[in-house]
Structure 1
Amino acid sequence: MESSLPSTQILDSGESAERKNEAKNYSEVMSTLPKVKGLRGNDFYLYQRFWYAPFSLEGLMSVQEHFNPQSTDIFLASFPKTGTTWLKALTFAILTRSRLSGSTTSSLLTKMPHDCVLFLEFQLAQNPGNRDSAIPLISTHVPYSCLPKSIISSSCKIIYICRDAKDSFVSLWYFVAKLQRSNNVEPLPLEEVFELFCNGIANYGPYWDHVLGYWRASLEFPEKILFLTYEEMMKDTAAHATKLAEFMGCSFTLEEEEEGEVQKIISMCSFEKLSNLEVNKNGKRRLDTSIPIQNSIYFRRGKRGDWENHLTPEMGARLDDIMEQKLKGSGLKLPR
């Protein structure tokens, strides 16, 4: 989960009068919305049926108004902490492989995946020109129904990844807790955050509605939207890397497959490799804001089933029951 400049920072940053007025207008809209206390103890706002932290909502409203995609753009969509970092690494490595004389030259070895593929509602909302036009990848956590109309009506492709809700929740709680502690804020207890999550209150939540939006869209537009699960990707990463390449229009050649290119990319993008890189162990990002983020907090375990070490069996069963009820009749059954 990213963080953007809050309104007060935007207003004091010396940007154009138009940008200042825009930020002021967003704050005025937010003041009219229903709100509750969120995972970080701050206010979450209900906007177009989903809950948002202020920094996410400002960015979303901005791109809904102003963002115009390129026809070749490929959007990597996800709920926070469902495999976003891994999906960014894999797709970036697959798309840029023809540029490389060898895997050791990949930007992934010196930049963390979130700096290789920028977020729509964060970096690009603040600076739309801040992208490499030769790299068509853009990441977003925005629910499908809230995406800018310019994206939905375009020919752009979308790759969506989701995950078992229990593992997603635990990963999200750890991420938020580490982020808060690094800024000398005591995080909310896991049990309290779990209650919020089960009531649909999380940044970009409810989780089940986020998943359902992209699932239904993938059924309606299978040529435009590829729906993936973290668990299935872990089970057969090679097959999914091949599928990703085909969907993005850069299929592996027979020669590449024979030379082991698929496995090279999988190895370079593995949790073990990425988490042990110097940039991801000791680097920081968003140094231009009041809340820099340590790259290491994006890499915790990368395993499935870790929820059992943090939730009681009763908590796990409760969340499973909620997901089963919410997904009932959709044809979607997420791995557990």
Structure 2
Amino acid sequence: MENNENVLRRKLEMVCGVPLFWSIVEEWAQVESFQARPDDLLISTYPKSGTTWISEIVDMIYNNGDTEKCKRDAIYVRVPFMELIIPGISNGTEKLAKTSSPRLVKTHLPVQLLPMSFWENGCKMIYVARNAKDVAVSFYHFDLMNQLHPEPGTWEQYVEKYMAGRVAYGSWYDHVKGWWEKRKDHPILYLLYEDMKEDPKREIRKVMHFLGKDLKEEVLDRIVYHTSFEMMKENPATNYTMVPNDVMDQSISPFMRKGIAGDWKNHFTVAQNETFNEDYERKMAGTTLQFRTEI
């Protein structure tokens, strides 16, 4: 990588009030004009909400449970990250343009920033949402090791920034609510991370039906096993160990850290939890979207 110091740990920049990695903002015209295809499947999440997990599940369903096919390359090559453009390292839009159909496309964009071509082409979409507290903890550890994002500061500072939406991709609250509302008029399968942890086979079957596939029970069982946290954590095609250490330093925190519901209890103080709950009630008032913070 050329001139690491020019690329890494830079402050986030804004697109329509949403903070994003600086070079995504510089190349926003490329993202905005991205041409979706009618048979694209979009996988959308707020960061640290099970993106790699659902991506591996979908790739396995597309490949009828063939585990060897799913080890053909790293997950971020099999499911390109559309808006991620890093000079000299990655360009999601260019990668996808060269990918043959049917394409799997990953995004973290809030619903209002998604390129229009996805709506115009009626693309199917899967959205996974995870409870706000566990996302905060996971995102903090991710930002500690991910050199592409600004230094996260202390946990106390980070919780404040997170509640205010001053982290990459902006407000968790706006993100999950925006996609929840959009499912009313577009083919979006909206899944909850906690439901996936509770009964992965049930939720994988929902994905299978949504994709119009009919796999045998033994194939579903294989997918459940192959996409368990324990298996994915040891799989070089899913655990991001193929990413250079100077971009993601897994000695600080592994990319696949715990993958559980309720880890927030190990990080939030009583006072932080009370403040967070008050803020949460205010920001989530009026939505039918409900989350569990443990299972």
Provide the rounded CA distance (Å) in 2 between the counterparts of 1:266 and 1:239.
10
Q: Tell whether 2:187 aligns with 1:246.
A: no
Partner residue in 2 for 1:201: 166
Partner residue in 2 for 1:277: 235
- Post-superposition shift, 1:154? 1.8
CA gap of 1:226–1:60, structure 2 versus 1, over 3 A, is farther
Partner residue in 2 for 1:230: 193
Among candidates 222, 232, 252, match of residue 264 of structure 1: 222
Q: % of aligned pairs identical?
A: 26
Partner residue in 2 for 1:310: 267
The CA deviation string for residues 182-206 of structure 1, in whole angstroms up to 9 with x for no partner, is 99x9751111111111111111111
The CA deviation string for residues 219-264 of structure 1, in whole angstroms up to 9 with x for no partner, is 233xx11111100111111111111011112232xxx12xx11111
CA gap of 1:56–1:324, structure 2 versus 1, over 3 A, is farther
Provide the rounded CA distance (Å) in 1 between the counterparts of 2:30 and 2:49.
25
> Given that residues 73 and 156 in structure 1 are in contact (C-alpha distance below 8 angstroms), is that contact kept between their aligned partners in structure 2?
yes
Structure 1 counterpart of 2:225, one-letter code: S
Q: Higher helix proportion, which one?
A: 1
- Post-superposition shift, 1:128? 4.0
Among candidates 110, 129, 148, match of residue 115 of structure 2: 148
SS at match of 1:297: coil
Among candidates 1, 5, 11, match of residue 43 of structure 1: 11
Structure 1 counterpart of 2:119, one-letter code: I
Provide the rounded CA distance (Å) in 2 between the counterparts of 1:214 and 1:229.
12
Q: State the TM-score, normalizing by the size of structure 2.
A: 0.86
- Post-superposition shift, 1:332? 1.2
Provide the rounded CA distance (Å) in 2 between the counterparts of 1:272 and 1:246.
25
> Given that residues 208 and 327 in structure 1 are in contact (C-alpha distance below 8 angstroms), is that contact kept between their aligned partners in structure 2?
yes
> Given that residues 284 and 293 in structure 1 are in contact (C-alpha distance below 8 angstroms), is that contact kept between their aligned partners in structure 2?
no
The CA deviation string for residues 284-328 of structure 1, in whole angstroms up to 9 with x for no partner, is 22x5xx954367832111011001111212222322332222121
Mapping 1:59-138, distance limit 5 Å: 59-65=27-33, 67-97=34-64, 100=66, 103=67, 105-108=68-71, 111-122=73-84, 123-131=91-99, 133-138=100-105
Provide the rounded CA distance (Å) in 2 between the counterparts of 1:294 and 1:251.
40
> Given that residues 197 and 206 in structure 1 are in contact (C-alpha distance below 8 angstroms), is that contact kept between their aligned partners in structure 2?
yes
| Runs of 4+ that moved beyond 4 A | 278-282
Partner residue in 2 for 1:17: none
Task: Say which is worse superposed, 122-131 or 143-152, in terms of deviation.
Answer: 122-131
CA RMSD of aligned residues (A): 2.8
Considering only CA atoms, is the larger Rg found in Structure 1 or Structure 2? 1
Q: Tell whether 2:206 aligns with 1:216.
A: no
> Given that residues 146 and 247 in structure 2 are in contact (C-alpha distance below 8 angstroms), is that contact kept between their aligned partners in structure 1?
no
Gaps in structure 1 of 5+ consecutive residues:
10-39
Gaps in structure 2 of 5+ consecutive residues:
85-90
Provide the rounded CA distance (Å) in 1 between the counterparts of 2:51 and 2:74.
12
- Post-superposition shift, 1:155? 1.2
SS at match of 1:329: coil
Between the two proteins, the alignment pairs up a number of residues equal to 282
CA gap of 1:58–1:229, structure 2 versus 1, over 3 A, is farther
> Given that residues 240 and 255 in structure 2 are in contact (C-alpha distance below 8 angstroms), is that contact kept between their aligned partners in structure 1?
no
- Post-superposition shift, 1:44? 2.5
Q: State the TM-score, normalizing by the size of structure 1.
A: 0.76
> Given that residues 284 and 292 in structure 1 are in contact (C-alpha distance below 8 angstroms), is that contact kept between their aligned partners in structure 2?
no
